[in-house]
Structure 1
Amino acid sequence: MGLADALPIAQLQERLIDSFLAGRKPTTVAAYRRDLEDFRAFVARQPGAAVYAASIDRVVLELFGLAAGQANALALGYRADLLTRGLSPATVNRRLAALRSLVQLGRTLGLVGWSLEVENVGSAAYRDTRGPGHDGVMAIIGKAEDRGDAIGVRDTAIVRLLHDTALRRGEVVSLDHAHYDAEAATLAILGKARREREMVTLPDATRAALDAWVGVRGAWDGPLFVRLDNAGAFEGRLSGEAVRLIVRRLGAGAGVPARPHGLRHSAITEALARTNGNVSAVQGFARHRDPRVTIRYNDNRDDEAGRIASLITEG
């Protein structure tokens, strides 16, 4: 029996979703599953299509059975549906990217001979890259410290990491105690789209906040940041959504609108200000793969567009 007999096309199709998601981070898997489920629900709403949309796998089989024009027309209709629902350009583009990636895998496996050509929608990325600013962040930290209990100690350490080292909330909640080297003052973080952890050195204030939390938490193995009930008992790993709510609550208490990524924005903007716009150095601090992302922060910090507008209107 040859390889083609051992792996017939039908089995490749059945395993396509699993193959597509294999090796990805749990948060990425969950996001892609939501995106593909949204596409399935869209297909199910089409006249006479409900029977073909019982599952994501079935929808994929039907999609791959379409001609190139039909498939692209369906994807174009999906794009229009996403926009009609008022979803952000980032969400629309991520869902279209998930669909294109799935079709590309189908091409790689020889299951389809066409590609989806539907383009992303325009998006002005990183329009607000300033965040709450240094004073705002300090007010948020002060609000956490004012609690004076275990939750306050934990939340202070979280806000410090989000700002002082520009961590993303997913990077924070993925940390285990074993990833913190207190003696060296380093954290082994799993960055965005990374498969291996990298070391981040902590400033003194951040290290002190984290040491204070570990003193409350204890040095046992497991998630570094955990949920706490009203009695102060630990209840498992803190979620990214919980971090979002913590930052929003602290910001509201300090009179500063805040979200986790806004703290990262503030850190990057402040780093550019204090290094006199050293994009190369701040790119490493922010762990941006593409320097153009860091440059956007720098342009927004300097308000280059506003400066040029002023120049051309001078007498």
Structure 2
Amino acid sequence: MTGSAVVIPAPPAALALSDLQAHLLDAFFAGRNARTVAAYRRDLEDWRTFAGAADMDAAARAILAVSHGQANAWALAYKAAMIERGLQPATVNRRLAALRSLVKLGNTLGLVSWRLEVENVPSAAYRDTRGPGRDGVRTLFELAAQPGGSKALRDVAVLRLLHDVALRRGEVVGLDLAHYDPRRGTVAILGKGRTERQLVTLPPAARAAVEAWIAARGSVAGPLFTNQDRARKGSGRLTDSAVYRLVRDLGKKAGIKARPHGLRHSAITDALDRTNGNIRAVRKFSRHKDFNVLVVYDDNRTDLAGDIARLVSE
């Protein structure tokens, strides 16, 4: 057998322990999308404040510089302090998860031989997964369209994406004009926890709303949804907080409690109703990774406990 020999490249030089520690946060944030990085930064900043460190890098090094038992004791004290501050269980658990993930990376890189074992606090996730309901959503659409003009077109398109295809507000504001395919009527969204965009096909009403907004917006490249603040000349990307205020304020006008994720809740609940609880099919629609989340939606939708109680009482 003839041919040139295969050359195996030498492995990269190992970083010194001090270099790994110095660049731990860089490695932790690498490969994550901007929204995820921003969320982790907020959570780790809270840990920095509790730890009394000068910056987040120092706070990250501090948790890895103590023994396994000391680290767990420190994390338990942090957990107790957050509970005493009155933080919601979801917030406490998210911040503990960020700290655990950081220590897990330190373990992977050989900085420590252990991982944090502090457990989450019990929480009742998705207590209300029904949202404003069909009538409430219909009212929001009508109120958003009433003022007329380009802002109304934009707002209706945003509401359609939040409800009709159950997008998260971060997925909506992260869209650029280039992510909409007018030939196929699809948007390429960057889903929660994903690094690649996935195509979502728009139903006719949502597609018509998006195209009406694009006709008013123009074909200039950039964010699909822009602010309509005259002072900023409509050039900036619509923000998460602006979408939250939009839905909240429309809800106040309608006399109902409304928020962006509530529209997603309504859509998923409606999808379960219309498919007679077909969790597998609705999972494709909602893009949930965990079937158990949809089981909670389905339980809340059907009120099984209430049905059994009525049977017992009869």
1:4: Cα distance to partner?
9.6
Once the two structures are aligned, what percentage of the paired residues are identical? 59
The aligned residue for residue 12 of structure 1 is 20
Residue aligned with 1:236, SS: coil
- Report the Cα distance in structure 2 between the residues aligned to 1:27 and 1:128, rounded to whole angstroms: 25
Consecutive unaligned residues in structure 2, runs of 5 or more: 1-9
Aligned to 1:285: 285
SS at match of 2:235: strand
**1-side partners of 2:131 and 2:276: how far apart?**
19
Residue 41 (structure 2) aligned to one of 30, 33, 45: 33
Conserved in 2, the CA contact under 8 Å of 1:129 and 1:297?
A: yes
1:284-312 deviation per Cα after TM superposition (whole angstroms, max 9, x unaligned): 11111111111111111000121223333
Q: TM-score, normalised by structure 2?
A: 0.94
- The aligned residue for residue 109 of structure 1 is 109
Deviation at 1:5, TM superposition (A): 7.2
| Map of 1:132 onto structure 2 | 132
In 2, distance between residues paired with 1:257 and 1:249? Answer: 9
CA distance in 1, matches of 2:157, 2:213: 7
Q: Which residue of the partner structure matches residue 61 of structure 1? A: 61
* Matching residue of 1:92: 92
Q: Secondary structure at the match of 1:234?
A: coil
Q: Give the letter for the 1:18 counterpart.
A: D
2:13 and 2:232 map into 1 onto residues whose CA distance is 59
Aligned length: 305
Output the CA distance in 2 between the equivalents of 1:4 and 1:301. Answer: 55
Cα distance in 1 for partners of 2:295, 2:271 equals 12
CA contact (8 A) 1:140 1:256 kept: no
- Distance (whole Å) between structure 1 residues aligned to residue 182 and residue 14 of structure 2: 52
The amino acid across from 1:180 in the alignment is Y
Q: Which moved more, 1:10-19 or 1:185-194?
A: 185-194
Q: CA deviation at 1:231?
A: 7.3
- Could you list the per-position Cα deviations for residues 90-141 of structure 1 after superposition, in whole angstroms to 9, with x for gaps in the alignment? 1111100110111111111111122111100111111100000011001001
Determine the C-alpha separation between the residues in 1 that align with 2:289 and 2:161: 20
Match of 2:265 in 1: 265
- CA 1:288–1:5 in structure 2 vs 1: closer, same or farther (change >3 Å)? closer
1:156 is displaced (CA, Å) by 0.5
Which residue of structure 2 lines up, in the alignment, with residue 177 of structure 1? 177
- SS of the residue corresponding to residue 66 of structure 1 reads coil
Structure 1 gap segments, 5+ residues each: 45-52
Structure 2 counterpart of 1:22, from 19, 22, 30: 30
Distance 1:132 1:158 in 2: 16
- TM-score normalised by length of structure 1: 0.93
- Partner of 1:216 in structure 2? 216
* Cα distance, 1:213 vs structure 2: 0.3
Partner letter of residue 305 of structure 1? A
Per-residue CA deviations over 1:159-206 (Å, capped at 9, x if unaligned) read: 011000000000000101111112211111111111111111111111
Which residue in 1 is equivalent to 2:149?
Answer: 149
SS at match of 2:199: strand
Say whether residues 1:245 and 2:253 are aligned partners: no
Q: Which runs of 4+ in 1 moved over 4 A?
A: 2-6
Q: Distance in 2 between matches of 1:67 and 1:233?
A: 55
Partner Cα separation in structure 2 for residue 232 and residue 73 of structure 1? 49
Report the CA distance shift for 1:211/1:54 in structure 2 as closer, same or farther (over 3 A): same
- Partner of 2:5 in structure 1? none
Q: 1:3 to 1:247 in 2, by over 3 A?
A: same
